Every structure is written in structure tokens, then in C-alpha cells.
């Protein structure tokens, strides 16, 4: 029986999202032929082997003395050291279900590489590059994929750059942390009076912030599953009554609706899928990613962002995209574990040879 460790939590503003996603993954794995270990990372970065049930994980009641013991990642290939029991926990593969900072930005992936255990999802370079919106857009432009006009700022940047950008692009515009997910810290600014508050909010999440010209059009997502051979899900479309697809809309769908498949012309749908695959391969993505674009009122296709561990409950966007091409949630999870081992052992063979 394969032993799988599901990692959740972490020191990220998206901690709660991780708990929901991980509980959904665990629910599937615990009903299948897997020996499952729950591995929780507290908000302060301490690792635990967790015995809590799924409800306690979803409700963030998993961290207590009765159901947890501290574990330490090991870099000699033996997995984790259980200090209380004085023994090793050695999973065949790991399924990190963490979103955002320290979980989706290459940090955790680097640690897992040092552990030498197969893990689900993109590697260090792809994770880091996709998380950094500014670098992602520069890279995408180098392979012919456009984004909306963007300016990057640091906290000590001269305001003349901001003034020049606004004079050229005008309002409305978006203010975003350069490295954050789930729309945390993102504001839509429609006039100068709201700019400083938006910048202050964004800088709470990241030391670099980007300003982007607002796009008039619709947001389209494209989910991809695979390593070398890719399965491309149906594109989805975000329909909003007003505002933008912020954190509340993403996870509560107050006025938003997600349409799968997207109501796009066939040619545009195909072009978005082709751009998504080109990006996925060029970035070196493995396992999965959700690539988000804008289809503007002027008929342009513009890159928005790439999520290397998108929201992953059974009802999230990525599973819905794959469901539309015949993959059940259970099949997606099983396939990801297979892909993790394939990527790991292919890399190992290259290293040995």
C-alpha cells in the first residue's frame, strides 16, 4: 500500500484556503487504497503529524496536544523524524496542498527536493517564477504572450514613476502584491484618492507591488494536468455582477458565477488553450497549473496569472475544468500522485546518468 503524506497549513495569508483544499484531498485518499499521513504546518512554521479528523482540519481545530506530535523533515532520504516515537515516517510521495507564500512560491518545493521524496506539483523554478507576477509577465512577453501594462514598485520607490504610469494609462487600475495569491491585498482603484490606501494594503503582503492597467473584458481560466503529456481542461469564465474577482468572491461567490465551459468563440477558446500549453511547457510546470487570461472587449488575449497550486476542493475551478473533459476529482488526485513519482524518478535517472 502506497504511503502518502498530505501537507497543509503554513505561514501564509492563504492558510484557511489550504485547510479546505487539503481536507478535500484527504477525504478522497482516506477512502482509497492509500496509507495516509496528515502533516500540518502551524502558522509559526512548526511541523506536526496530525491525528485530527477532517472536520477539525476544516475548522482549524487540528493543532492540539492530544492529536499532534512534532515532526522534523529529514534530508537523508528517510522522510520525517518522529521525536516522541523515536522512529521514521517515510512516505512514498507527498501531496503539498498549500497556497501562496512559502507553499506555492518555491520555498516548500526546495525543502521537498532536499528531502528527496516525490511530491505533487511544480518544481522550485516554475513555482517561484509563477508566483512572481512581474517576472512571469516579463517571461511571457519573451515568448510572445502579452499582459496588460504593468509597473513594479518597492516601498521606497519615487512617486514620479507612479505619476508617469497613471498619466499614460489612466484609471481604473489594479494594485497587487507582486507575490501573493487568492486576491489577498488586491484593490481596484478608480481615482487618485484611493491610491495610497491601496498601496498600503498591498505592501502588507509583499515588499514589491505592481500597478496594472484595468482590463475591460472577461477573465478566462485554463487548467492543465500533466508532465510531458498534457491534459487540457475546458476553459472557464468568471461572470461578475460588479467589482472584481476578489477574495470574498473567489470563496463565497456572492455575485460571481463560474461558467464551464466558457462562452467563447471556438477560435478564441483554442488560442487560449494553445497559449496556456506554451506557457506551461516553457515555464517547466509539472503536475498541474491553472493559467488565467483576460479576453478583452477589443479581442485581445492577455495573461493574468499562473497558479501552480490552485484552489483544490472538489468544487474549485481547477477540478471543474478537468471534470468537463472526463476527469473525476478522485482521478485527478490519483493522476497527480502518479505524475509526482514520474517527475521524481525521471530527474533521479538524469542525475545518475
List the Cα angle 73/204/46 in 5-degree steps.
Answer: 20
CA 341 to chain centre: 20
- Please indicate if the annotation marks 305 as binding a ligand: yes
The per-residue b/e assignment along 210-224, b for 16 or more CB within 10 angstroms, e otherwise, is bbbbbbebbbbbbbb
Cell of 9: 497549513
List of E strands, the chain:
2-9, 34-41, 47-50, 68-73, 80-82, 87-89, 93-96, 150-154, 173-177, 187-189, 208-213, 217-226, 230-232, 236-239, 257-259, 287-296, 301-307
User: Which whole-number Å values give the CA distances from 315 to 226, 244, 249, 320, in the listed order?
Assistant: 20, 20, 14, 7
- Please indicate if the annotation marks 307 as binding a ligand: yes
Q: Which residues are catalytic?
A: 14, 182, 316
- Please indicate if the annotation marks 292 as binding a ligand: yes
The backbone torsions φ and ψ at residue 127, rounded to the nearest 5 degrees and listed phi first, read -60, -45
Cβ pair 22, 97 in contact under 8 A: yes
Cell of 136: 512571469
Neighbours of 75 (CB within 10 A): 10
Strand order in 208-213's β-sheet? 150-154, 208-213, 173-177, 187-189
Residues flagged as binding site for Mg(2+): 292, 305, 307
Residues flagged as binding site: 292, 305, 307
Amino acid at each position: 500500500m502506497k504511503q502518502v503524506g498530505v501537507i497543509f497549513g503554513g505561514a501564509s495569508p492563504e492558510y484557511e484556503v489550504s485547510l479546505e483544499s487539503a481536507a478535500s484531498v484527504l477525504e478522497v485518499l482516506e477512502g482509497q487504497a492509500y496509507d495516509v499521513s496528515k502533516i500540518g504546518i502551524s502558522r509559526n512554521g512548526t511541523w506536526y503529524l496530525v491525528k485530527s479528523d477532517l472536520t477539525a482540519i476544516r475548522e482549524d481545530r487540528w493543532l492540539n496536544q492530544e492529536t499532534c506530535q512534532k515532526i522534523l523533515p529529514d534530508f537523508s532520504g528517510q522522510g520525517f523524524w518522529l521525536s516522541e516515537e523515536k522512529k521514521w515516517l517515510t512516505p512514498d510521495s507527498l501531496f503539498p496542498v498549500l497556497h501562496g507564500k512559502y507553499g506555492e512560491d518555491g520555498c516548500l518545493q526546495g525543502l521537498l527536493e532536499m528531502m528527496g521524496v516525490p511530491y505533487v506539483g511544480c518544481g522550485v523554478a516554475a513555482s517561484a517564477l509563477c508566483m512572481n507576477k512581474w517576472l512571469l509577465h516579463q517571461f511571457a512577453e519573451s515568448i510572445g504572450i502579452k499582459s496588460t501594462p504593468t509597473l513594479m514598485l518597492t516601498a521606497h520607490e519615487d512617486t514620479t514613476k507612479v505619476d508617469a504610469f497613471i498619466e499614460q494609462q489612466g484609471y481604473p487600475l489594479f494594485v497587487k502584491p507582486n507575490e501573493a495569491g487568492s486576491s489577498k491585498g488586491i484593490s481596484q482603484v478608480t481615482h487618485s484618492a484611493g491610491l495610497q490606501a491601496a498601496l498600503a494594503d498591498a505592501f502588507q503582503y509583499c515588499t514589491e507591488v505592481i500597478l496594472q492597467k484595468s482590463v475591460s473584458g472577461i477573465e478566462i481560466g485554463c487548467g492543465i494536468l500533466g508532465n510531458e503529456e498534457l491534459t487540457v481542461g475546458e476553459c472557464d469564465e468568471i461572470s461578475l455582477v460588479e467589482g472584481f474577482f476578489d477574495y470574498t468572491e473567489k470563496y463565497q461567490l456572492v455575485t460571481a458565477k463560474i461558467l464551464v465551459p466558457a462562452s467563447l468563440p471556438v477560435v478564441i477558446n483554442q488560442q487560449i488553450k494553445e497559449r496556456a500549453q506554451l506557457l506551461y511547457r516553457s515555464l517547466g510546470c509539472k503536475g498541474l497549473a491553472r493559467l488565467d487570461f483576460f479576453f478583452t472587449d477589443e479581442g485581445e488575449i492577455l495573461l493574468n496569472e499562473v497558479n501552480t497550486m490552485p484552489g483544490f476542493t472538489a468544487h474549485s475551478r481547477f477540478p471543474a475544468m478537468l471534470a468537463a473533459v472526463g476527469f473525476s476529482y478522485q482521478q485527478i488526485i490519483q493522476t497527480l500522485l502518479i505524475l509526482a513519482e514520474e517527475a521524481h524518478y525521471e530527474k533521479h535517472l538524469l542525475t545518475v546518468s
